Structure 1
Amino acid sequence: MGIRCSKLSLCWWSHSHHKFHSSHTQDLEDRGKDEGESLPTFTEFKLDELRAAASGFSPDNIVSEHGEKAPNVVYKGKLNDGRWIAIKRFHRSAWPDTRQFLEEAKAVGMVRSDKLANLIGCCCDGEERLLVAEFMPNETLSKHLFHWENQPLKWAMRLRVALYLAQALEYCSSKGRSLYHDLNAYRILFDVECNPRLSCFGLMKNSRDGKSYSTNLAFTPPEYMRTGRISPESVIYSFGTLLLDLLSGKHIPPSHALDLIKVKNFRMLIDSNLEGHFSDNDGTELVRLASRCLQYEARERPNAKTLVAALVPLQKETEVASHVLMGIPDGTAIQDSPSLTPLGDACSRQDLIAIHEMLEDIGYKDDEGIANELSFQVWTSQIQETLNCKKHGDTAFRAKDFATAIKCYTQYIDDGTMVSPTVFARRCLSYLMSNMHQEALADAMQAQVVSPEWPTALYLQAAALFRLGMDGDAKETLKDGTSLEAKWKKH
């Protein structure tokens, strides 16, 4: 699904900012050259050196990992000269050809910019394949956008993140590296001054065949779903999903967002924490830009240069340092995310029996408005029949007759008279119990669409993702649910 945007408005952006754009592009290239010259030369590290830096690749040094079947793990490390580094350790089968891995790593290492967390080296030793990058001490965009503790990310900082990311993509494209794999909020990091940087790891494929582009299916570029391949336009689509993240403070499926934009109801996308902190015009422009990036047809999406030209005029508080905007004094440690709740833990262990007991115990108390709807005077036989479907579904759910529960809940949902996130959640678990994992994921996502602030929907998404073998996405979704529940309890 996509929205066809006016080519006239796109041309207007290009024309009105042409003069700025020419000088800006040159400045960007010059900054990239200066930055590249100030960084250490690309180094082929020895395995023992990196093993010592990461404390023997201790689990305590793991920063992130993606998948268990073929994990690519990122470690934090410290070299003998005192430099902190990030080390990405590939699965042994990812790059069997040493020469090919070295050539690819060195090519990425040539791309140097102050908008990137730059690649400064690699290691090939036996079957080991490792990349070494600058370490960014102030966490990820996901942490500051979805898991904030002290204050939500300010509007001015969100705009700065969007611009810096667009500039990073523009610079990479100018250096012949227009492909970026799995662009998401975890790939945007914050340096010691809290300036946003794009991780260099996404510039390199996760494996020689390039088929390991891994992301939540609901956020995958349409052409990747069709062909299994990404293009520069696919990266722009992912940029559009990040604009939605910045606007909403949540990870909203693009199809749902485009539906809201299409009916001019995009205000529902805006993070409630931003109310009163930005103008309607700015919000409208960012929504419009996101919709351009999310065009179904790849050729209709803007390029990185157009993104930069559109975002520069929107910038606010440009003289204020990033760490001030983010409210992070120098040297302040960022706290870890809250530990898993019982439901989150059950989902992480894929303990469907425990999940069933908890959903049954929770009942419908977390539904927004559904309790009032169901207590209304029943005025037609059609409404009575719909309520009976739900009642029969609940009875089957309690009795663990999941096939009947699916049938009854489906009839209730298809009627469309009343919408209940709990019914979607219960049908989701019924699908999981019936080994219908893709259907379960769709229901968990629909529950989130109906009730965006409901942590249970995210926990169930994680359970479905684990069953689908998408472990990295499942772990990230668990974090989202845990953080959301922690904020929920505070209110």
Structure 2
Amino acid sequence: MEPSTTDDPAKSHGNHTNNHHSLQSQIHDHHHGIGTLSSTSILIIIVSSISVVVVLTIFLIIAMLRRYKYSKDGGNCRDFSSCNTSKFIAHTTLRFTPSPVFGNISDVKGGCLYGSNMGHKPPGKYKGVQVFTYKELEIATNKFSEANVTLNEGYGVVYRGTLSDGTVAAIKMLHRAGKQGERAFRIEVDLLSRLHSPYLVELLGYCADRNHRLLVFEFMPNGTLQHHLHHKQYRPLDWGTRLRIALDCARALEFLHELTIPAVIHRDFKCSNILLDQNFRAKVSDFGSAKMGSERINARNSTCLPSTTGYLAPEYASTGKLTTKSDVYSYGVVLLQLLTGRKPVDTKQPSGEHVLVSWALPRLTNRDKIVEMVDPAMKDQYSKKDLIQVAAIAAVCVQPEADYRPLMTDVVQSLIPLVKNLSSVSSSCSSRFVNQMLCSPRPM
């Protein structure tokens, strides 16, 4: 007998009923599970959110503490041998905001510099810069003795002084008067309180006591580049020292132009504003005329222009258009001075050679004429190959058209290999002469 292929209707119905109840049970269990999962998920989300907020708060506090510590330290690097200056420069970007310390010019009161939003309480220290009384600086300079004068020019007198903590400092007493002088003083203090670079002179403090305006800087024992190039009582600078000075100055302008936001335009870059330390390493000073960002100055107002016209870029002198390329032109003039030993404008030179740039520019593309231009004080103790490269850099820096001038970063990168190779170049250089130049004491 064959098995039946037809299911029992009652059995089938029972199975169907059981399956229906089972499905309902699964659906009920499923919905119950969803409700339970939703509550758990919500709890997890809340706990996770709170955890994230706590973690972010902790990181924010740590970041603020680190930033406070860095600003307290000032990012300073006084010892070249103990800090990686190239790393500091390459990774430092400054952003400027209006200083809360300096209000209107009328807010300058006797004793110190007050800010309009600080009531009438002296700030004590601003950005790590100390506030001095006139009496303190009078004591430091032995009552501003003539014996302590290291520099006396139109903008003021610089004294060597010893502060109460034993620090030897350069104390500049400004002669500038009126709103223009007050503005220059405030700009200098504000900028150098914010700018920290091994290639800029360090501001230690200032004094705004009654009508007195004084700036206190780190002391640079070898004075200005101007003196070493153009005063016969100073021993001539050798080629290697000149190259290093050129690179230090290029790094200073690179820092101002390309590593600060907005860019700082020095506007009065010249040899008398380049100071030399005990190792003849250069630092740039005098920021009283500096500007932040490109702008147009009224060229008819001579008080807006630096006093030394031999350094002025053509477009700046004629139209008042001011950009970082104006500083590049001034740098090119300084480079020509390092090469030739000549002043930017010298009426004692033969006819047609009074203005350094006009005389030098046509010769900078002729190798033979470049050699003829070299400062006789170097007595042929230099690398001709390096000389030609430096002349090429100077040529592009003093181009009449601003757009043809290079960025200071490009100048730095061009000079670095020359400075690195100083020990191996110049096969014709007398070692006796070099040793004498580097080791003999030089008068101040």
Query: Which bracket does the TM-score occupy, shorter chain normalised?
Result: 0.5 to 0.7
Contact 2:266 2:289 in 1 (8 A): yes
CA deviation profile, 1:247-288 (whole Å, cap 9, x unmatched): 112225111111323566333211234454333321111111
Q: 1:204 to 1:190 in 2, by over 3 A?
A: same
Aligned counterpart, 1:88: 172
Distance 2:339 2:210 in 1: 46
Given the alignment of the two structures, is residue 179 of structure 1 paired with residue 282 of structure 2, yes or no?
no
The one-letter code matched in structure 2 to 1:327 is M
| C-alpha deviation, 1:105, in angstroms | 1.2
Aligned counterpart, 1:327: 437
CA deviation profile, 1:42-67 (whole Å, cap 9, x unmatched): 11222211222223233333332333
The one-letter code matched in structure 2 to 1:181 is R
Distance 1:53 1:105 in 2: 20
Secondary structure of 1:113's counterpart equals: coil
Aligned counterpart, 2:392: 288
1:158 aligned to which of 230, 242, 249:
242
Aligned counterpart, 2:373: 269
Unmatched 5+ stretches in structure 1? 1-22, 34-39, 337-491
| C-alpha deviation, 1:28, in angstroms | 2.3
Q: 1:94 to 1:315 in 2, by over 3 A?
A: farther
2:283 aligned to which of 176, 193, 197:
197
CA deviation profile, 1:282-335 (whole Å, cap 9, x unmatched): 111111110111011122211111110111111156679xxx8783559x4x43
Aligned counterpart, 1:211: 303
Distance 2:181 2:249 in 1: 32
Secondary structure of 1:290's counterpart equals: helix
| C-alpha deviation, 1:222, in angstroms | 1.3
Secondary structure of 1:116's counterpart equals: coil
CA deviation profile, 1:144-164 (whole Å, cap 9, x unmatched): 333355853221111111111
Aligned counterpart, 2:333: 241
Contact 1:115 1:168 in 2 (8 A): yes
Q: 1:167 to 1:275 in 2, by over 3 A?
A: same
C-alpha RMSD of matched pairs (Å): 3.5
Distance 2:320 2:418 in 1: 35
Q: TM-score, normalised by structure 1?
A: 0.53
Q: Larger relative CO (CA 8 A, sep 6+): 1 or 2?
A: 1
Distance 2:404 2:244 in 1: 25
Contact 1:92 1:127 in 2 (8 A): no
Distance 2:282 2:162 in 1: 22
| C-alpha deviation, 1:185, in angstroms | 1.7
Alignment of 1:16-415 (within 5 A): 26-29=87-90, 41-67=128-154, 71-91=155-175, 93-95=177-179, 101-102=185-186, 105-147=189-231, 151-173=235-257, 174-176=259-261, 178-201=264-287, 204=290, 211=303, 213-228=305-320, 230-252=322-344, 253-261=356-364, 265-274=369-378, 276-316=380-420, 327=437, 329=439, 332=441, 334-335=442-443
Contact 1:156 1:317 in 2 (8 A): no
Q: 1:263 to 1:196 in 2, by over 3 A?
A: closer
Distance 1:100 1:153 in 2: 32
| C-alpha deviation, 1:243, in angstroms | 0.8
Q: Between Structure 1 and Structure 2, whose CA radius of gyration is higher?
A: 2
| C-alpha deviation, 1:245, in angstroms | 1.0
- Matched-pair identity in %: 32
| C-alpha deviation, 1:73, in angstroms | 2.6
Q: 1:317 to 1:280 in 2, by over 3 A?
A: closer
Contact 1:42 1:106 in 2 (8 A): no
Distance 2:144 2:185 in 1: 21
Contact 1:153 1:326 in 2 (8 A): no
Q: 1:292 to 1:92 in 2, by over 3 A?
A: closer
Contact 2:184 2:288 in 1 (8 A): no
The one-letter code matched in structure 2 to 1:175 is T
Secondary structure of 1:182's counterpart equals: coil
Unmatched 5+ stretches in structure 2? 1-83, 95-126, 292-300, 345-355, 425-433
Distance 1:200 1:230 in 2: 18
Alignment length (residue pairs): 297
| C-alpha deviation, 1:77, in angstroms | 1.7
Distance 1:213 1:185 in 2: 17
Report which of the two has the higher share of helix.
1
